[in-house]
Amino acid sequence: MSTDQSAPPLPELGFYGLAGHSASPRDLLDEVRLGEQIGLGSVFLSERFNVKDAGVMAGAAVAATTTLGVGTAATNHSTRHPLVTATMGTTLHRMSGGRYALGLGRGFDLLWDVMGLPRITSAQLEDAIGIYRRLWHGEGFGHEGPAGTYPYLSQDSSFDEDIPVMLMAIGDNSLRLAGRVADAVVLHTFLTDETLARSVSVVRRAAEEAGRDPATVRVWAVLATVEDSIPEEQRLRKLVGRLATYLTGYGKVLVAANRWDLADYERFRADPLVQGYPGAFDAIGTTEELQHLAEVLPDEWLAAAATGSAEQCARRVVDQLDAGADSVILHGATPTELAPVVAAYRAIRPDGLDALTANPGWGRR
């Protein structure tokens, strides 16, 4: 497709690289180049223990682009020694010219159990962030705390690096933690507008109670974006399949966050197709299976997304900003698929957003 190479950047918009289940990490190179060309402000990179290593992907993304913000969303503090993670951060920070943000999340308890790693707590995350920041500012120190015991940690005494840290959050505890200690927070997909507004309020209030300026914590909404020109089977996979996959993994958390009816969730879980399903619906679900799930899931739940024409999707992006988000990740679609939505959004873009930084972890300039 042809693209306008001079398209002005939209720092308030982001996308996920290698959206979904990809076996070809090389595709990321073309995605970030096109994303930058059409004006998307940042790429977010989720780590998977197959062909999606956070450091490798982020290095490729910063090398293939010149203005695109790059953030891990997310990796986990417990899967690398803190000195290794801090080194990843400083390397990417300097390689990108300040475009990189380190994003951390809690992950999944079951995964940590089978990997033999401790389940992640808020205390561990807060402690790990403190370690990284001390290392990035040239300190050498021994440490004993929730994130571990380390006789001595040091990178380089000359370092004075300001690298933003983002936290992934859905529940109130994580939202409050983000408000206290993070530079930015990335919310979850399939949050209703009301839940988004409530989540922003929790973050801002926690920041204020911690003595911070609430406006300095950048809040990213995450909006499943499935525009009509995408083939029907893929639309089902990106919308119905993705939501069903989340619900089978940590459905009660998402249902509680949205204050959805638990009976609807139990009905979904009791469906014969869902019980004992051998994989992720968004990866292996057939068209017939996904159509069945579309009938099982409440319409209200599927409405917590951007669907329809490019113009309708663009309007939903503005809805996220109106609900209090500073920025919006257009989730589950490639830059090629997002191009019509981005073009439509430009026509209705609110004023004042150019003050946002290119780095997804910092707020307004």
Residues 193 and 228 sit within 8 Å (Cβ to Cβ): no
Using the Cα atoms of residue 108, residue 114, residue 119 and residue 120 in order, give the sign of their dihedral. negative
- Average pLDDT value for residue range 126-153: 98
Q: What is the pLDDT of residues 291-307, one digit of tens each?
A: 999 999 999 999 999 99
Q: Which helix (H) or strand (E) holds 340?
A: helix 335-348
**Band of pLDDT at residue 3, cut at 50, 70 and 90:** very low
**For residue 69, what are its two tokens?**
């913000």
pTM of the full predicted structure?
Answer: 0.96
Distance between CA 196 and CA 38 in Å, rounded?
A: 27
pLDDT at res. 6: 60
Answer yes or no: is pLDDT of 1 > 80: no
Answer yes or no: is pLDDT of 23 > 70: yes
- Average pLDDT value for residue range 50-61: 96
> Looking at domain 10-228+309-355, what is its CATH homologous superfamily?
Luciferase-like domain (3.20.20.30)
Mean pLDDT across the chain: 96
- Average pLDDT value for residue range 133-153: 98
Name residue 70's beta-bridge partners.
43, 100
Task: Give the single-character DSSP code of 285.
Answer: -
- Average pLDDT value for residue range 150-159: 98
Domain boundaries, the chain: 10-228+309-355, 234-307
- Average pLDDT value for residue range 163-183: 97
**Band of pLDDT at residue 365, cut at 50, 70 and 90:** confident
Q: Identify residue 357 by its one-letter amino acid code.
A: T
Answer yes or no: is pLDDT of 5 > 80: no
Task: Give the single-character DSSP code of 206.
Answer: H
- Average pLDDT value for residue range 74-102: 98
Question: Could you give phi then psi for residue 110, rounded to 5 degrees?
Answer: -60, -40
**For residue 175, what are its two tokens?**
């939202």
Residue 114 exposure: Cα atoms within 13 Å on the Cβ side = 4
Answer yes or no: is pLDDT of 345 > 80: yes
Name residue 122's beta-bridge partners.
none
- The residue behind tokens 């609110």 is 350
Nearest partner of 123 among 174, 184, 188, judged by Cα:
174
Nearest partner of 206 among 295, 148, 122, 276, judged by Cα:
122
